[in-house]
Structure formats: structure tokens, C-alpha cells
Amino acid sequence: MKITDIEAIACVWPPPENHFWTSFRPIGRVSELIVRVHTDQGLVGIGEAHGAGMPFPGIYKQNADGSLEAEGASRVVVDVLKPLLLGEDPLDNERLWENMFRLNHQRGWATAGWGRPQIMTAIAGVDIALWDLKGKAADMPVYKLLGGTRNTVPCYITGGYYQEGKTISDLVQECETYADMGYNAIKLKIGGVSVEEDVARVSAVRQALGPDMDLMLDVNEGYDVPTAIRAARLLEPLNIRWLEEPVHWYDRVAGLGQVAASTTIPIASGENAVHRWDARDLIMQGGVKVMQFDCTRNCGVTECLKVASLCAMQNVRLAPHHDPQIHGHLVAA
């Protein structure tokens, strides 16, 4: 089987009518990069890369007249990765991944207008499409190819975003709706108001939903280290499943390690990890106990399998970030 063509499609949804935000940014447009890898046997693999709700890492750009067009990672797929992969056997995913990853330390990408974020996201979309091709060639879902240890996986719902005029009662009602839908785990956004206000918000949800509901908290890197430690200690009595990305981006390894050593709440991080070496540092130095590596943002399934092996060696739970239609296969394996 040989690769005959590769397509990249930038999908952009309009921003929500009702504005909401995390600790540091509003949630705007949602963007995804769809990759289709065609073969001489008629099989087509479909991959998906996550745009993080923003043009970065460059899935699309908005022109002066307001129109949108493919850019960044979308162009890397067609202009850089496609010529590299045409004629190759799509089942050789490890070798093809290494060839694509090698672009990160070769001349040319900077002068071409691409950066590593765009390359890594493009690799993610292509690699996931190659795994989809493997599954189609074998006539089985990818989770079966990876071992298929289970056919159901645990899930949670994310909510509790900040909105203008949203009260604690509104938050509780929102979470009660999630419970009525059948969810037994809810992740709430915190870090956008004072620590005391957030503790009151989480306490109200815990009191309303009882001790059996798993609650996870996502700070989106909104605290400095002292504030993160203070918040964690105030939240400990509320039986929190994990505290996610509690420390500012510039201190997300050493600072995270200080927080992890100062609280009984397990620390989660990894959605911004670019590769296995980032994941290694978060685990070994950052004290992370829940790894949230996102293969749709960086590197694809091939790299995530290496991160999963690292997690298994260190007794760290893998709970991938975003896009469950992709990551569900990894969790099921």
C-alpha cells in the first residue's frame, strides 16, 4: 500500500453567543484540522488535530476583510509533509513519524514561515490518519490494534466556566444537570476569581452533589506557586480528584513540583506538553500524577504511546486532554 495524496481541511466554528472564560482567556472560535491520507488501495485514513480554540498553532488565519483561510499547520501538511510522504507505505508509522519529527531540527522551516508548534500539530493530524489507515487495513478499530483491554472507558464532563452574572447557585444548578445526565465526574474551572471565592464555589458544588461525585479542578495555569499552594490546602477537605495546571506557564515544571510536594491533592498537567521529554520532566520534576498529554495537539498516537509507557513505569494515570473520539482509543488500550 502506498500514499497517493494528503489533504488538509481547516474547520472553524464561530465564537459562542454567550461569552465564557477560564482563569486567563475567553473561549472564542473552535478550530480543528482534518487530515485525509489517500492510498493506492482506495483506503483513506482520517486524522484530526486540535486548534485549541484559537488560530495558534496556526490552523487558520483571519484576513482583514474577516474571511478565514487555511494557514500554519494546515499548510505544513500540504506543503511540507505531503511531499515527504507521497509513495511511502502508510503502515510504516514509526519510520514516517521519525522522518516528520526530524523536520523540527532541520534548516528551512523558520524561513518558510513555520514554527515548531505548527509542525507538531501537523504531525499529529497526519499520524492519527496513519493509525486510522492501519485500523481500516486490519478491519478493526484502533483501540483493538493497541491491545483493546476494555470496551468502555471512564469519562467526565468539563464545566463551571466563568460568565458575567453567573452566581454560585447557577453553578450548582449546572452541575446538578450534569449529574442528572449520568456523569459521575465533573471538572470545574477555577483560578479566575479570588481563592476564597473559588473555594466557596467548589464547596457549594460538593455539598449539593455529595461525597460520591468526583470533582476535578482546572486552574489553566492561573496561579503563582504560593497562591497555588494556599488554594490546594484550602481545597483538600473537599476530596478533590485532581488539581490541574495550577501554576503559571513559565514555572510549570519546578514550580509545579513545589505545589505537588505541598498538597495531598494529585496534580494533573500535560496538555501543553509537546513531546515525551516534556512529559518526562512533568512527571520526574513536576510531581505530576495525572498526565494529560494531548496527541491531537502534538505528535499523534505514535508519540502518545511512548508517553503512556512512561506513565506506566512511574505509576502515573494517563487522562488525555480533549477530543475523546481520538483519545478514547488510547484509554481503552
Question: So where are the chain's domains?
Answer: 3-139, 157-332
Active-site pick, 48, 71, 198, 244: 244
Q: Per DSSP, which regions of 150-248 are E strands?
A: 157-159, 185-189, 214-218, 240-244
What percent of the chain clears pLDDT 70, i.e. is strictly above it? 90
* Residue 189 annotated among the catalytic residues of the structure: yes
> What CATH number does the domain located at 3-139 have?
3.30.390.10
* Residue 170 annotated among the catalytic residues of the structure: no
User: Is there a common fold for 3-139 and 157-332?
Assistant: no
Give pLDDT, residue 148. 81
Main-chain dihedrals φ then ψ at residue 6, nearest 5 degrees: -135, 130
Give pLDDT, residue 15. 72
Give pLDDT, residue 56. 46
Task: List, for residues 228-248, the tens digit of each pLDDT value.
Answer: 999 999 999 999 999 999 999
Active-site pick, 134, 136, 321, 327: 321
Task: List, for residues 252-268, the tens digit of each pLDDT value.
Answer: 999 999 999 999 999 99
* Residue 294 annotated among the catalytic residues of the structure: yes
Give pLDDT, residue 26. 72
Task: List, for residues 32-67, the tens digit of each pLDDT value.
Answer: 889 999 999 999 999 999 875 444 446 666 666 666
* Residue 275 annotated among the catalytic residues of the structure: no
* Residue 166 annotated among the catalytic residues of the structure: no
Task: List, for residues 150-163, the tens digit of each pLDDT value.
Answer: 888 889 999 999 99
Task: Give the residue among 209, 180, 220, 248 at the shortest CA–CA distance from 24.
Answer: 220
* Residue 244 annotated among the catalytic residues of the structure: yes
Q: Is the pLDDT of residue 79 over 70?
A: yes
Active-site pick, 218, 245, 251, 303: 218
Give pLDDT, residue 211. 96
Query: What's the CATH fold of domain 157-332?
Result: TIM Barrel (3.20.20)
Active-site pick, 48, 294, 303, 329: 294
Half-sphere exposure of 18 (CA within 13 A, CB side): 6
- Dist CA 272 CA 63 (whole Å): 27
Q: Which pTM does this prediction carry?
A: 0.91
Task: Give the residue among 124, 128, 121 at the shortest CA–CA distance from 45.
Answer: 128
Active-site pick, 189, 248, 275, 327: 189
Active-site pick, 48, 198, 271, 303: 271
